[in-house]
Amino acid sequence: MALETTIQNKVNLWLAGNYDAATKQEITNLLNINATTQLTDAFYKDLEFGTGGLRGIMGAGSNRINKYTIGTATQGLCNFLKAKYANQKIKVAIAHDSRNQSDFIARTTAEVFSANDIYVYFFKALRPTPLLSFAVRHLACQSGVVITASHNPKEYNGYKAYAEDGGQYVAPDDKAVMHEVGKITNINEVNFNFKEENIELIGEEIDKLYLQKIASLSVSPEAIQHQHDLKIVFSPIHGTGITLVPKALEIFGFTNVILVDEQITPDGNFPTVVYPNPEEKEALTFALKKAHETNADLVLATDPDADRVGIAVKNLEGNFELLNGNQTGSLLVNYMLSAWQQQAKFTGNEYIVKTIVTSYLIDKIAEASKVTCYNTLTGFKYIGQIITELADKKTFIVGGEESYGYLVGDFVRDKDAVVSCAFIAEMTAFYKNQGSSLYEALIDMYLKYGFYKEKLVSITKTGKTGAEEIVAMMERFRNNPPTSLGGAQVISLKDYTLQQETNLLTGKITAIDLPKSDVLQFITHDGSIISARPSGTEPKIKFYCSVNTVLKSKDDFAATELLLEQKITAIMQDLNP
């Protein structure tokens, strides 16, 4: 089977261009075995900035993560920065995670910046993503980059680019950067001739400042004093969390942190897990085993770049149960707002932020506390954007998204598992000090505000064909929306591409005041919300199902949860993706 002409032309450009011998050999080997599908996937497009920057499989090709796609992206970013900050001394910060080649890719990024006379603060060893965001702000940089593919499988790597506010690029600058990248048509336009004098190593001094900031946010230090020996099992899942999470717990006052020995060594092969994703129970196997052995109170596990955290707590039967991102986020918001209210810290000018696919239980909690809750598009960069826009006007308390990413305080502008671990441990200590538990606090929250149950269903569609199938699926839902889901009438369709909400009963159309995004939301008459969204970082289409009902008593918890689970199953059957 022959390659398409456009793809063959790209392959020829790489074989004839100024690429190293190893890269050309990798391409030649694929040609020799007629690996048409692999070559097509590697060259059919150029990597683009999505909700999380660049992310892809490592290897040769324009649609792969390698020295040249990273170099091209960095050169484009350099060109953007030089145009935006003309006649200024431009500074950037760079960090990387534990993935294979992350250190090499980070060094390549630093070299291209330095070659373009941009000063680089370069973390001399692996560090969490939130620390990079902090460093950009603290060091007054105009930009920053962290090399990571977050929780993706080991074959992946990525490139997150940050603006001067410490948040990932948003419109119009994200498109402007990619425009500059797109203007580079020849690898010879990328300047790899680094200048060592433009690279400064940083490390522990930034760690210390960051940890001090985290410590200053604590709202229940007395509870920690009483429960300082709370048994906390922590796993970094072979990632960067090991560098700062234990230190953050220690500086908060916790003295009994139990590390998962099998997973504390940074390793890009992630040898003990299938996916280094704390959303997956399998990734917490060793941590849960350790928790059972030690009779722990709390399990914490972070992804490779330590911006997401998964947790497990004891349920009413004393068995460890994983909480999902919506549950943890709702607990965190409820805890923080309750603490601020009890300590009379509210001035009427506070707010929280979440995404449109994150539990609307959080909106109810905020409403009860008379705190504004902003909803943004999916992607933490939009949460960071709101924090920046309101920096001198209102006080940010806490925010988060269903994909296990949360933030307390505003000195970082991205999701932060380090500060989240500290606060999850703190609220566990707070409830234990009251003779309760985090799981009981979850049920109490449902009793007060309603039982909200969410589930994420992801369908993987790889390669060029898969991408086309996802586009077709979204068009089907957009043009022929379901009339009922799970036995409930669909009364509203929110189309974030068209930026409009259509009342399906009256036909009335109202504007949605958010940027365009390929997201559809179906809202039923009983309050269920089902969101369909192609992933910006993975070859998947995601369905976010949210259902809710009244929880009459604690004794009804299990039965009510089962009913909600059955409702979600019925909804997905009706959608038939």
CATH of the domain at 84: 3.40.120.10
Same domain flag for 192 and 230? no
Poorest-confidence range of 174-178, 344-348, 433-437, 526-530?
A: 174-178
Confidence category of residue 52, pLDDT binned at 50, 70, 90: low
Phi and psi (nearest 5°) for 202? -130, 170
Same domain flag for 410 and 282? yes
Predicted TM-score (pTM) of this structure: 0.95
Place of tokens 């020996």: 229
Number of domains in the chain: 3
> What are the angstrom distances between the C-alpha of 255 and each of 10, 180, 183, 229?
57, 50, 54, 5
Confidence category of residue 163, pLDDT binned at 50, 70, 90: very high
Place of tokens 């995404």: 355
Same domain flag for 197 and 240? no
Asked if residue 144 lies in contact with residue 94, where contact means CB atoms within 8 angstroms, the answer is yes
Kindly tell me if the per-residue pLDDT of 75 is higher than 80. Answer: yes
Confidence category of residue 50, pLDDT binned at 50, 70, 90: low
Same domain flag for 369 and 407? yes
Same domain flag for 483 and 565? yes
pLDDT of 539 reads: 82
- What is the average per-residue pLDDT within 131-147? 98
User: Which is the catalytic residue, given 98, 143, 150, 369?
Assistant: 150
> What are the angstrom distances between the C-alpha of 556 and each of 395, 451, 468, 561, 568?
38, 11, 45, 8, 19
Q: Is pLDDT larger for residue 53 or for residue 147? A: 147
Same domain flag for 478 and 433? no
Same domain flag for 411 and 470? no
Nearest to 219 by CA among 130, 308, 338: 338
- What is the average per-residue pLDDT within 549-567? 97
Same domain flag for 444 and 458? no
Return the number of other C-beta atoms located less than 10 Å from residue 357's C-beta: 26
Q: What tens digit of pLDDT does each residue of 400-415 get? A: 999 999 999 999 999 9
Same domain flag for 455 and 324? no
Kindly tell me if the per-residue pLDDT of 51 is higher than 60. Answer: no
Kindly tell me if the per-residue pLDDT of 571 is higher than 90. Answer: yes
Q: Is residue 40 part of a domain?
A: no
Task: Name the average pLDDT for the chain.
Answer: 96
Asked if residue 43 lies in contact with residue 17, where contact means CB atoms within 8 angstroms, the answer is no
Confidence category of residue 49, pLDDT binned at 50, 70, 90: low
pLDDT of 537 reads: 66
Residue type, 386: I
Same domain flag for 437 and 489? no
Kindly tell me if the per-residue pLDDT of 175 is higher than 90. Answer: no
Confidence category of residue 462, pLDDT binned at 50, 70, 90: confident
Among 154, 169, 202, residue at a domain's last position: 202
Q: Is residue 19 part of a domain?
A: no
Rounded Cα–Cα distance for residues 251 and 236 (Å)? 18
Nearest to 77 by CA among 60, 65, 90: 90
Range of the domain at 87: 45-202
Residue 403 is among the residues annotated as catalytic for this protein: no
